[in-house]
Structure formats: C-alpha cells, structure tokens
Chains A and B, each alone.
Chain A
Amino acid sequence: MQEIQYIGEHLMPGRIGHLAIVLGFVASLLASLAYFFATQRRGQAEATQWTLIGRGAFLTHGVAVFTVIGAIFFAMANRYFEYQYVQAHVSDELPLKYIFSAFWEGQEGSFLLWMFWHVILGLVILFSGKRWEAPTLSVLSLIQVCIGSMILGIYVGFGDDPVRIGSNPLMLLRDMMDAPIFASADYASQIKGNGLNPLLQNYWMTIHPPTLFLGFASTSIPFCYAIAGLWIKEHKDWLKPALRWALFSGGILGTGILMGGAWAYEALSFGGYWAWDPVENMSLVPWLILIAGIHANLIARNTGHSVRSTYIYYILTFVFIAYSTFLTRSGVLGDTSVHAFTEMGLEWQLVGFIAVFLLLSAILLGIRYKGIPSPPKEEAAGSKEFWMFIGTLVLLFSAVIITASTSLPVYNKIVQYFDPVFEGRVITDPIPHYNRYQIWIAVFIGLLSGISQYLRYKEFNFRKYASRFGLHAGIALAVSGLFTYLTTLWIDVVAWQYLVLLFFGWFTIITNIDHLITFIRGNLKQSGSSFAHIGFGLMIIGILASGLNQRVISNNQFVMDGLIEGASNEQMRRNILLFKDSPLIMEDYEVTYTKDTIDTFTRTFTVHYKRRNKQGEVVEAFDLHPNILYDKSFTKVAASNPSTKRYWDRDIFTHIASLPQVEIDMEYRRQREDSLNYRLHQGAIGETVTFLDTVPLTDMDTFVVKSYRAMVSGIDRHPTHPDYHPEEGDIAIGASVQIKRSDDDSVFTVHPVLVLRGQLLYSYPAQINELSTRVRLNEGVFDAVFTPETELNYQQFSFQQGSKINLNGYQITFEGFNRKPKHPNYQPEEEDIAVSGMMSVQAPDGKVYAAQPVYLIRGNRPFNLKDEIPELGLHFRFTGIDPATETIEMMIAQADPKPMVIPFEVATNSLRSDYIVLEAIEFPGINLFWIGASLMMIGLLVSMFFRIGQVSVRRSVGL
C-alpha cells in the first residue's frame, strides 16, 4: 500500500505527549526503586544518594505528568481533531470554559487527573515527610507506575494478537480506526469533534471530578504510611502523620461524594441525591472504611490498642479504591449502573492493579503481624476505645455488605466463566434493598457516636464515673425522645424502624452538643469530632425527612381519575400535563406555565407557582425556570435541567419531563407541517368565509363535522412573526385572520406571514392551539396585494416644489425633498446620495394620502425605489432630478382598482403544541441533609487543622 503524505496534521503535541508518557512511566518506576533502596539501606551512607535519585526521579515523573496533561490540553484548546481523544471530547462549538470538563470526561483524562493529584500530594511529602519520605514515596511511585501503565498504550507480545497495555490518550484517529476518509491527505480539515455530552456541560462537571479524584488520591497517603510503618517496623510513629492525612482525605473524599449527590439533585433530573447506584456505592465504601481507620487511628494514638486494625483499615481503604476503579472502569457494571464508564479493554490490567497492592499488603502484614505491639490487657467495657472500636467494626460491616450487593455482576461473571449457562442474578429493586440494611448501621453509629463521647480513654474505673455518665446519658435519652416526638409532628414516620433511626439521629446530636458544651467547654480545637457527629445526626434526620416524605406534587387526581383504564394510585404517576396559560392545582399550589424563551440552544420555561390561603388570597407567588438544552441540530433534547425553590424547611423541585414532539424534533416538525391537511379559502378583507371540516375524535375512530367561520380583517405589509427575522430585500405580507369554531364561543385572531426572499417563499403559519388549527397564507396573496410592474401603465410627470397635477381626479402635490429618506427596501450606505420626494395625494372624497418614492445614486449609477398607496392603487417612481431647474421627474401609474381577495389556508388537524410535561417533587427537610453532611466534612477538616497546629506548637516548644 502506498504511504499517504498527510497534510494539515499537528503531530508535535502527540510526539511530546508520547515521550512524556513513557518518560513518566519509567521515572515513576525508577523513583519507586530508588526510594526502595533508600528505605532498605536507611542509616547507611548510600541511603542519602538513593534518596536523591528518588527525588530526581519523582520530580521528573511529576514534570512528565504535567507535560502529558499540557500536551492534551494544547491539542484540545486548538481543536486538533486528528487526535482521537480530542475528537471524542471537544468540538468547535464547545466553549473554552468546558475544556477541563472535556479533559476528564474520558477514562484516560481521569487517570491523568488522579496521577496529577498523586504528584501534588507526593511533592508535599517530598518536602515535609522527613524520614517517611523514602518509604511512602516508594509506595506512591509504585501506585503511579500502575496508573501510568493504564495510559501507556503499547503492545507487548508477538504474533497476530499482541497484548495492549493501557490506552494512550494521544493516539491519532487514523491509527485507531480504518475509514475511507483517511485516504484523503487533508482529512484533518474535514473532521469535526463530537464535543462534550451536553449533560456534562455545567459547573458541577468542572468541580466534582477534581474534588473526587483528590479524595481518591489522598486515600493513597495513609495507605503509603501504613505500608511504610510495616516496612520499617515503626508501628507507632507512622500513626501521627497518617491520622492527619486520613482526616484530610476523609474530608475531601466525602466532599467529592457529596458534590456528586448535589449535582444529581440540582442539575440532573434524577430527582434525588442518592440512588444506591453501583458507582455511588463504590465511592462510599472506601470512605466508610477510611472513617473506620480514622477512629482506629485515634484509639491507637491514645491507648496503644488497635494498631493492627489501623493498618488493616488504611490498607483496605486503598484496596477498595482500586476495586472501585475496577468496577467503574471495566464495563462489568454495564447493565446495573447509569453512570459507569464504558469498557476500554483494560479489565485485566485493572485486576492486576488490585492484585499487586492486595498481595503486597497482605504479605507484608502477614510477615510483620506478630511484631505489631498490642497491649496485653484487653479494653475495658466502660472505656471509650472499646465502643469506638465496635463503631469501626460497624462501619466495616456496612462497607462489606454494600460491596457484597454491588459486586453481584462480578460474581455473575466469575460463575459464568466456569458455568456458561448460569443466568446472572440481579437485585430487583436496589434502593429498598440497601436501605433495609443500612438503616441499622445508621442506628448503631448514632448510638455509638453518642455514648462514646461520654466515655474516657483507658477507663478502668468506670464504676466511679458511672453516675455522671448515667446522668448525662439519661438526660440525652430523654431530650432525644422529646425531639423525636416533635419531629414526628412535622414529618410522617411510617415505620417503627424509621422511628428508631430518628431517635438515634437526635441522640447523637444531643450527646455531641452536650459534649461540646460541658466536656470540652467549647474549645474549638477539639470540637472537630463533635461537629462531625452532630453533622451525621442532622444528615440522618434530613435523609428521613426528604426521603420518607418526598411527595410528587405533579399528580393531579382530578385530571387522572377515570381517564386511563386500569390506572390506579399505587402506580407512580410523576408527570403532569400543563397547557400554556392554563393554571392547574397541584397540592397547595396553583401552577401555570406562562412562557418560554429560547437562547441559542437553551430553552427556558417559566412556571409560575401561586399558593393561596383558605380565604383564597394569594400568600405566596414565585417563578421557577427549568430549562432544556437542544442538541446542535435541534433534533433532540440533550439535557433537561431542573429548577428548585428553596425554603428553609423544604424544596420544591421542578423539571421538564417531556415536550410535544414537534417542539423536540425540528425534522418531525417539518414532516408534521407537510402532513397537515390544509384547505384553501379566500375572501375579501372583512368578508366572512364559512366552511366545514371533519375533526377526528381522540381514541374513538369517529369524526365530527364542525363548521368554521374565518375572516381576513387586515393586511400588514411590515408584519412580525416570532420565527421571522427580516432581511433586506424581503417582500413580506402578513394578514390578520379571525377564526371561530361553531362549538366554541371565542374568536381567535392569528397573524400568519408569507415572505418572498429572492426566489424562495418562506411561510410562517400561525397556530390556534385551542382549536388545533393552523393558518397560513397562500402564495396567491402576492398577486392579490401587489400589482405586477408589467401591468402598470406609467406616465411621466415633472414637478417643482409645490407644483400640483391632476390624475384621474386625484390631486398630486410634490411637497419637497426628504434628504434622509426611509424606505423598507433601502439600507443607507456611506457614499449614497439619496433623496425621497414627499408626495401628497388628495382623493376626490377629500382624504389625503402620502407616498415617498426614493431616488438614489450609488456608485455613479442612479436607482429608484418605488412607493405606492395601496388604497388608491397609485404607484410612484422617482426617476430623475434636474438640479439646474430644481425639477424632478416622477413616473406615476394607477392600477385598475380590483377587490383584494386574500387566499389563505386552514388546517384543522394540527396538534396542540403549547404544553409541557412537568414533574414536581417536594423534598421536606432536605437542607438538614446538606447542612449535616457538610458539617461532617467540616468536622473532619477542623480536626485535621487542629492536629497540624498541634505539631507546630510542639515544635516551637522544642526549640
């Protein structure tokens, strides 16, 4: 085959990127090895040299990762569509602000984002890690080797079927696929990008992935410290830095997960913030284990117990991050998740990633296990550490059962491997399934996080302390009971299980507030844990309120009852049909769809809500603005964005579920217009035309004959129409048409428009939704309104200012010049010399009319623009000026008067298109969820800052 010399390709970013990918991979391998030897030979002279090599390699790795990212960004920003990744994620239309989102939309980009954060975190350790630098960065570099291999994109092996390692984001499209277009040398200029999925074109996609991936990346650090601790057998010292990092990670990962929920709730039309989707679950599981790790770490720091558990929890956290990566990126979730990535052919590599770190950790832990110090005496039952440890077990337990259910597709795959006829199992209704088990986890966490705040570390003399404990716990129980009761007045708690959960939600809030006030006396530095636990309690109450009492308010029983055969209340009827300007009662609200506006591809609807009191007075009124986003070709709705009214105690969530087909698909709209059964009618202005038409009855295969009366009430030579944008040279005619149907009292007036632009006719019909009727003008209207020039018999007249002539009984006067003429077909240009003659005409009946024909010299050539007085049939052309005598030449013609008969067409089978299908849900108490969950993350971060502060204080004391 002949080699093609391609033109217009930009190969430089690709070459640099390829080089940087390989360099980054090799450098991370080298960094891992160098730091390995630095750790192994610690205390010896050569360790320093190994560390220096490690640093150099890690910094090189960092530069390489930044370069790869830079190269991809460069290609994306310049829209080099010859690159597959650029073509797949960017388009010419995509605004530059979404370039970040486009970058991490794909698997390769998100791997790079993850690596980017690892580099940043690694640099922090490199500069501040001291003796932990070498062992932790050796592990971190090994992680980078594994992730880096996912984007290598090299083929290993021989023969016809080499194994591909990784998927390179800088591959050229023509290397990835075979297509006839690559036969042309300038193909690069002929391709366009796909662009970013419109669903992802919002600010959430800009902030959620980086936060989540920082969360993912930061779980590696406690893991690295755990491995380092085991490795160099310093089972105590690693606990302090690991705790700080774990708190950081818990706060950030939690925030990332929460942002996902907020995105789903606020910008997507999922109608909730958590759906137990496998992808959501697998980001929650590592966080739960991490939180267990933090608590074990606290126990270990304060009592010396639980060092082994701390190791295990931090290791598991990272292993589950790897497992989560496998689940979401291997395609195994396919049928069960709405937002897993599609497969990329990296399944085995991802399995390898898990295996490497699982085996490495397990072996190391096995070897060191016996040597990990553990106090001989067991925790006392009245001590804080005992109950905290139980709490960590509950968290682990929660993580295990979530993972077990979520991993069902993996289990299916494995069984099917051995037994191909095995039919995969699946959870029929995931949400109730997960809720049923997690509710008890939450109850235990509520109980334990309340009780253990009253207990003390290393308590071996609980009896002495028991009365104080009893007093506080007793009061807290009583107050919680009271608050639980008060809450049930506000929300409907439908089952005793939820009542128990509500009680323990309050219990943890009350005990932690008590702890904050009476035990640590408002000392902000120690308040982190109280904040986090209060947040947990609030979150539980918020979940109960918004989940149990969420009400779909867009179901109007009056409309629905009896209309649909077999329909019953138990079925979820979430949508309601809302005609424009027709208010509908939804629960407490009177809802009206009032208008919609379109701005490029976004169509925003205004939905007006009104709430009345018992006397019928309006006590509240507000507008919501849900919108939809069309795709580039206006053939479908790419995204539907909800709009939410926020109260302190509830939200009203509104989104457009559907629109009339003609409003969604412009192609369908054209087809529909063509299929309409238009009939031609004509009548003089003011004359009533009566006609009959058959109207099909919905659902009944029958037709009724209805009579219509139509009348053209006027003609407009400068018409307006919502879809018509005038251009120079247009000849446009509009008519006012009144239509009345025999069975309806109203008379509807519509304004169809017909435009002649060059040789093409453009019709702008008008719709009467109430009558399902559409009216348009027939092209014959031009003949009726305009007299063709060829039929006019012009006579030439000369005028001086003020002179007057008589034509067929009309007194025509030349009143003077207008040096700034205005004429519908005249657009002034700079060099123009233009005047109009102001002509006034007095008709025999005494009425006075005016006309202003224009005389124009443009580029040394004379032109004239005619004017006419349609009522009189008089046409004027201003054809010359003699400057010497100030005389003008005017051609005037009078057409034969003829009755103006306006032809128009009416179709009575047009469907209504002035409605929206709306879904509206009320979420009570949802703010408690957001406030509580945020408070949890703030609590974690407060604790982290407090612990960093602690270090610097001790340092300054030490000096």
Chain B
Amino acid sequence: MKKIYIIAIVMIAAAIVLLTTAAEDMSTYANFKDATKSGDRVKIAGQLSKDKEMYYNPQEDPNYFSFYIRDTKGEERKVVLLSEKPQDFELSEQIVLTGQMKGDEFVATDMLMKCPSKYKDEEVYIKEEGE
C-alpha cells in the first residue's frame, strides 16, 4: 500500500474523530425552560416583546441593556445584554442570543438580529411633501 494512502486514511480517521468531538460545540436552539434546567451556555432564538420595557442608560452602565423576548415556546423572559443597545434594535423581528440563565434573567454576551427587509411598505418610498 502506498504511503500516501496510509496518510490519507489517517486524515480521514482524524476528520471523523474531530467532527464527532465537534458535536460538543453544537446545540439546538434552546428555550428558556431548557436554559434554566441545564444552566449551560446556550443559544436562544426569540421574538422581541415590543410592548415591554427596553432599558439602556449609559450613565448608569454603558454595558447593560435589558429587554424582553418571547422564545419559540412562547415563554417571555427578561434578557440582559452586556453591551450597548444596538442601532435599529426596535426594528428587529428575530433575535438570536448567546448566553446563560442567571436567576430569572437570561444574561447574553452575543446577539444577532434579523431585521425585516425594511422597505416593504409603500409609504417608505413615496416622496414627502415639499421634498
């Protein structure tokens, strides 16, 4: 057997081992219930509760932004993001957070927002008076 083949087989074996260990890095999107139960660092996807308070007062703490989201099971919880309030936050439809539960709050260190394609409404592109 050629040496190259041996090396290739070793590599394929390594790849399989790596990819199985990589399963540890993966998780399903959790909901608040799972996150509370496990206490692990998880990703949660949810909808922003637009009627609930969003709190960011940089004078108090520039790294504290809190809001409420509703997870895929419909449970609503307070989320604390340890960062500034991002631009266009109010517009976001779907939010993916990375973090873990601390008490009743979900403390997130990373957030990804999905904004709707902004310009669906007709009024957005009609010229305003006097323009």
**A interacts with B:** yes
Surface stretch bound by B, among A70-78, A516-524, A567-575, A715-723: A567-575
**CB of A179 closer than 8 Å to a CB of B:** yes
CB contacts (< 8 Å) of A338 on chain B: these are: 112
**CB of B52 closer than 8 Å to a CB of A:** no
Contact B64 A657 (CB under 8 A): no
Q: Mark B98-110, 1 if CB is under 8 A from A, else 0.
A: 1000100001011
A202 vs B117: C-alpha distance in the bound complex, in angstroms? 22
A142 vs B12: C-alpha distance in the bound complex, in angstroms? 34
Contact B96 A427 (CB under 8 A): no
CB contacts (< 8 Å) of B19 on chain A: these are: 401, 404
**CB of A637 closer than 8 Å to a CB of B:** yes
Q: Mark A205-247, 1 if CB is under 8 A from B, else 0.
A: 0000000000000000000000000000000000000000000
Contact A428 B114 (CB under 8 A): no
Q: Residue of B at shortest CB range from A571?
A: B82
**CB of B58 closer than 8 Å to a CB of A:** yes
Contact A192 B43 (CB under 8 A): no
Q: Mark A323-346, 1 if CB is under 8 A from B, else 0.
A: 000000000001110100010000
* Distance to closest chain B CB from A913 (angstroms): 10
CB contacts (< 8 Å) of A429 on chain B: these are: 25, 41, 98, 110
Contact A577 B58 (CB under 8 A): yes
A390 vs B6: C-alpha distance in the bound complex, in angstroms? 11
**CB of A194 closer than 8 Å to a CB of B:** yes
**CB of A358 closer than 8 Å to a CB of B:** no
**CB of A424 closer than 8 Å to a CB of B:** yes
Contact A573 B63 (CB under 8 A): yes
Contact A428 B63 (CB under 8 A): no
Contact B126 A190 (CB under 8 A): yes
- Asked if A335 meets B124 with Cβ closer than 8 Å, knowing A381-B3, A428-B27, A564-B64, the reply is no
Contact A573 B82 (CB under 8 A): yes
Q: Which of A389, A400, A566 contacts B102 (CB 8 A)?
A: A566
Contact B4 A389 (CB under 8 A): yes
A427 vs B26: C-alpha distance in the bound complex, in angstroms? 4
Q: Residue of A at shortest CB range from B95?
A: A335
CB contacts (< 8 Å) of B107 on chain A: these are: 571
Q: Which of B18, B42, B119, B131 contacts A401 (CB 8 A)?
A: B18
* Distance to closest chain B CB from A498 (angstroms): 19
A367 vs B55: C-alpha distance in the bound complex, in angstroms? 66
- Asked if A575 meets B83 with Cβ closer than 8 Å, knowing A335-B112, A408-B26, A915-B58, the reply is yes
Which residues from 383 to 407 on chain A have a C-beta closer than 8 Å to any C-beta of chain B? 386, 389-390, 393-394, 397, 400-401, 404-405
A381 vs B98: C-alpha distance in the bound complex, in angstroms? 48
A400 vs B19: C-alpha distance in the bound complex, in angstroms? 10
Which residues from 105 to 131 on chain B have a C-beta closer than 8 Å to any C-beta of chain A? 107, 109-110, 112, 114, 117-119, 122, 124-127, 131
A437 vs B29: C-alpha distance in the bound complex, in angstroms? 23
CB contacts (< 8 Å) of B2 on chain A: these are: 378
Contact B58 A660 (CB under 8 A): yes
CB contacts (< 8 Å) of A180 on chain B: these are: 122
CB contacts (< 8 Å) of A657 on chain B: these are: 62, 83-84
Contact A397 B25 (CB under 8 A): no
A397 vs B8: C-alpha distance in the bound complex, in angstroms? 10
Which residues from 26 to 55 on chain B have a C-beta closer than 8 Å to any C-beta of chain A? 26-29, 41-43, 45
- Asked if A426 meets B26 with Cβ closer than 8 Å, knowing A87-B125, A636-B88, the reply is yes
Q: Residue of B at shortest CB range from A911?
A: B59
A334 vs B45: C-alpha distance in the bound complex, in angstroms? 12
CB contacts (< 8 Å) of A830 on chain B: these are: none
A11 vs B69: C-alpha distance in the bound complex, in angstroms? 47
Q: Residue of B at shortest CB range from A92?
A: B131
**CB of A725 closer than 8 Å to a CB of B:** no
**CB of A181 closer than 8 Å to a CB of B:** yes
Q: Residue of B at shortest CB range from A579?
A: B59
- Asked if A575 meets B27 with Cβ closer than 8 Å, knowing A192-B126, A378-B4, A637-B87, the reply is no
Q: How many residues of A contact B (CB 8 A)?
A: 65
**CB of A620 closer than 8 Å to a CB of B:** no
A762 vs B25: C-alpha distance in the bound complex, in angstroms? 60
**CB of A48 closer than 8 Å to a CB of B:** no
- Asked if A386 meets B3 with Cβ closer than 8 Å, knowing A429-B41, A576-B62, the reply is yes
CB contacts (< 8 Å) of B29 on chain A: these are: 423-424, 426
CB contacts (< 8 Å) of B82 on chain A: these are: 571-573
Q: Which of A433, A574, A640 contacts B83 (CB 8 A)?
A: A574
Which residues from 52 to 101 on chain B have a C-beta closer than 8 Å to any C-beta of chain A? 56, 58-64, 82-85, 87-88, 94, 96, 98
* Distance to closest chain A CB from B26 (angstroms): 5
A378 vs B6: C-alpha distance in the bound complex, in angstroms? 13
- Asked if A433 meets B63 with Cβ closer than 8 Å, knowing A637-B87, A917-B58, the reply is no
CB contacts (< 8 Å) of B110 on chain A: these are: 429
A577 vs B63: C-alpha distance in the bound complex, in angstroms? 9
Q: Which of B15, B26, B42, B62 contacts A917 (CB 8 A)?
A: B62
- Asked if A563 meets B61 with Cβ closer than 8 Å, knowing A335-B114, A572-B82, the reply is yes
CB contacts (< 8 Å) of A194 on chain B: these are: 118-119, 124-125
Contact B98 A575 (CB under 8 A): no
Q: Residue of B at shortest CB range from A573?
A: B63
CB contacts (< 8 Å) of B83 on chain A: these are: 572, 574-575, 657
* Distance to closest chain A CB from B64 (angstroms): 7
Contact B125 A424 (CB under 8 A): no
Which residues from 318 to 370 on chain A have a C-beta closer than 8 Å to any C-beta of chain B? 334-336, 338, 342
Which residues from 79 to 110 on chain A have a C-beta closer than 8 Å to any C-beta of chain B? 81, 87-88
A41 vs B27: C-alpha distance in the bound complex, in angstroms? 56
A630 vs B124: C-alpha distance in the bound complex, in angstroms? 18
Contact A424 B28 (CB under 8 A): yes
- Asked if A191 meets B126 with Cβ closer than 8 Å, knowing A335-B96, A575-B83, A658-B62, the reply is yes
Contact A181 B122 (CB under 8 A): yes
* Distance to closest chain B CB from A106 (angstroms): 12
A423 vs B117: C-alpha distance in the bound complex, in angstroms? 25
A849 vs B92: C-alpha distance in the bound complex, in angstroms? 65
Q: Which of A426, A437, A576 contacts B22 (CB 8 A)?
A: A437
- Asked if A193 meets B125 with Cβ closer than 8 Å, knowing A397-B15, A917-B58, the reply is yes
CB contacts (< 8 Å) of A560 on chain B: these are: 61
**CB of A912 closer than 8 Å to a CB of B:** yes
Q: Residue of B at shortest CB range from A178?
A: B122
In the complex, 6 of the A-B residue pairs with CB atoms within 8 angstroms, ordered by the A residue number, are A181-B122, A381-B3, A427-B26, A573-B82, A658-B84, A917-B84
Residues of B near any A CB (own CB < 8 A): 2-4, 7-8, 11, 14-15, 18-19, 22, 25-29, 41-43, 45, 56, 58-64, 82-85, 87-88, 94, 96, 98, 102, 107, 109-110, 112, 114, 117-119, 122, 124-127, 131
**CB-based closest 4 A-B pairs:** A575-B62, A658-B84, A423-B28, A657-B84
- Further pairs besides A426-B26, A427-B25: 10, Cβ < 8 Å: A180-B122, A379-B4, A386-B4, A390-B7, A401-B19, A408-B26, A437-B18, A657-B62, A698-B59, A915-B58
Residues of A near any B CB (own CB < 8 A): 81, 87-88, 179-181, 190-194, 334-336, 338, 342, 378-379, 381, 386, 389-390, 393-394, 397, 400-401, 404-405, 408, 423-429, 432-433, 437, 560, 563-564, 566-567, 571-577, 636-638, 640, 657-658, 660, 698-699, 911-912, 915, 917
